A and B are shown apart, each in its own frame.
Chain A
Amino acid sequence: MKIAVCLKRVPDTTAKIVVGGDGKSIDEAGVKFVPNPYDEYALEAAIALKEKAGAGETVVISVGGDSSQETIRTALAMGIDRGVLIQGAGSADGLEVAKALAAEIGAGGYDLVLFGKLAVDDYNHQVGVMVGELLGLPVISAVSALTVENGAVSAEREIEGGVEVLSCSLPAVVTADKGINTPRLPSLKGIMAAKKKPLESKPTTIGAGGLTLAGLSLPAERQAGRIVGEGPDAVPALVQLLRNEAKVI
């Protein structure tokens, strides 16, 4: 089985985000970058599926600048076989990123293409599904349980107040949600091996698309409210405030 995993380099979720001087990008100074957490679920799923099959190839594909090579190496250290960097500036428009990925993936003859359900930087929550549509492949998104057997995919995804059970056949695109697995950490041996694994760079130009970024801003800081009191004796006052001042209960 030949599996592709799409990976994005994103700021660590614990990072404080500061808007840069241009008002349209974030200030990267002092920000630690990591593989997108949802993509780690996709990487783990790919590695585990190949291990189970006992044969095949796993390929990690990332759109980004040179700094994404480090992120790809992390995936290789986890156990992915080789990497492809689609070298270019990203776009606010997920469809443009999806087109670049679809061009690479469509030519690759993959049985399964895995994504994280969203990237924790732009929260676009769309690229994986779009790639599937552009390639005319079945897509199941935000999957929290996945089984791939005999060319068939069965999956579960969380919906409001329940779980949807879905199926499709390979080749397919699946985007991963939390709960699908627990990603492995790279081993020391894996980190050493990753240095020698192939990583190909393919320069590309990503279109601007139909979304224009007008600017980034910080949300209004919430004003710290008041401490109503200490311990259970403060409860009646809190309830009165919620009832009469905030009018929310």
Chain B
Amino acid sequence: MAAILAVTEQRQGALRKVSLEVVTAARTVADGLGATVDALVLGSGNVEGTAALGGHGANRVLTASHDGFGLYNPDGYAATIASIGANYAAIVFAASAMGRDLAPRVAAKLGQSLATDVTALSVEGGKLVVTRPVYAGKVLQKLVLSGSTAIVSVRPNTFAADGSKGLTAEAVAVTVPEFTQRVTVKEIKAPEQAVLDVTEANIVVSGGRGLKEPGNFKLLEDLAAALGSAAVGASRAVVDAGWREHGAQVGQTGKTVAPSLYFAVGISGAIQHLAGMRTSKVIVAINKDKDAPIFKVADYGIVGDLFEVLPRLTDEIRKLKAE
């Protein structure tokens, strides 16, 4: 029976949330092909959270444990996946920082094609068919994968984790093959305070030039804190001006986000910004210019001075959360 490999991710011995999305996507492919799902966990020692993999559709949980696998090990992870990869009809990664680095390594080792950052997938005539945004989402590309092992990475926050599958996954150990470690991850530097990445947050609060100066991003941080599990994003203009870290930039030369709720505050809506956030489920725009292009894509808009609107909004959200 054909099988699909879902490559999960762990950080500091705990499974990352995106792993459940990967398994959910792999389950969709498996159902289309009449295949089973193997979820692969690469780590050093016990990884917390793997009990949820069966519920999300994994028939088996494969564990590849190695002393050098605590942190991401590009060469070791790639060698391990490549050693078993040819047995699978498809391999599913997350288009996360790790998956974006790891999937092309595996694809090159196996000599198989890779479709990255997929936002929809289906099985048609026994082949995997994917949709992926190109030109930063201005255009959708539909691809048919015809190799013996179809390799894809799925965009985070796009395949909602579905824990209703009710499978009890069988645990299987995988042997880590000999590998040449060419690249070493020495450490992960955490920011001074934990920052939620804009690509993974459920809510993104982004600011642009309308905030007038870097210090005013405090208003957005307050709103994000009031909302909970929200990340602060930024337009290209303010990142180029050095107000915010480039990792927070939403748009064609920054990140593409798809949260449930996106606030564009003091952002006019340049085409390259819209490209990065247009797949958000709900968009709210706050801008003093009623003709700003951002209102053409926003579900809800407030025309007004953000310095008056934001504090009130933060207040109202706090009240709501306190209820």
Residues of A that sit less than 8 Å from B by CB: 11, 13-14, 16-17, 19, 26, 37-38, 92-95, 98, 120-127, 129-130, 133-134, 137-142, 144, 156-169, 172, 177-179, 209-219, 222, 224-232, 234-236, 238-239, 241-243, 246, 248-249
Contacts and interface: CB of A to CB of B under 8 A. Distances in A.
A219 B279 contact: yes
B218 interface: no
B101 A165 contact: no
A129 B143 contact: no
Contacts of B191: 161-163
Q: Main SS of chain B's interface residues?
A: mixed
Contacts of B188: 159, 162-165
Given A137-B182, A159-B188, A248-B260, A215 B142 contact: yes
Interface residues of B, number: 100
A166 B184 contact: yes
30 contacts: A16-B271, A19-B139, A38-B253, A92-B143, A95-B107, A95-B112, A120-B136, A126-B103, A126-B114, A129-B101, A133-B109, A138-B183, A139-B105, A142-B101, A158-B247, A161-B194, A162-B188, A164-B72, A164-B185, A165-B189, A210-B112, A210-B150, A216-B134, A219-B137, A224-B295, A227-B301, A230-B303, A236-B316, A239-B317, A242-B300
Given A139-B105, A249-B317, A160 B199 contact: yes
Interface of B: 16, 71-72, 74-75, 78, 95-98, 100-101, 103-105, 107-109, 111-117, 129, 132-147, 150, 182-191, 194-197, 199-200, 203, 227, 239, 245-247, 249, 252-254, 260-261, 270-272, 278-279, 281-284, 290, 295-305, 308-309, 311-313, 316-317, 320
Nearest to B305: A231
A142 B112 CA distance: 22
B272 A14 contact: yes
Contact of A214 (B144, B247, B316, B320): B144
B252 A159 contact: no
A3 B113 CA distance: 27
Pairs of residues from A and B, 10 with the lowest C-beta to C-beta distance, nearest first: A210-B113, A138-B182, A210-B147, A133-B108, A225-B299, A126-B104, A159-B97, A129-B104, A231-B304, A232-B312
A209 to B, nearest CB: 5
Contacts of A217: 139-140, 142
Given A123-B133, A235-B313, 7 more contacts: A19-B139, A94-B114, A95-B111, A160-B199, A217-B142, A230-B304, A238-B300
B107 A230 contact: no
B115 A228 contact: no
A98 B113 CA distance: 11
Contact of A211 (B96, B144, B279, B295): B144
Contact of B184 (A133, A168, A235, A248): A168
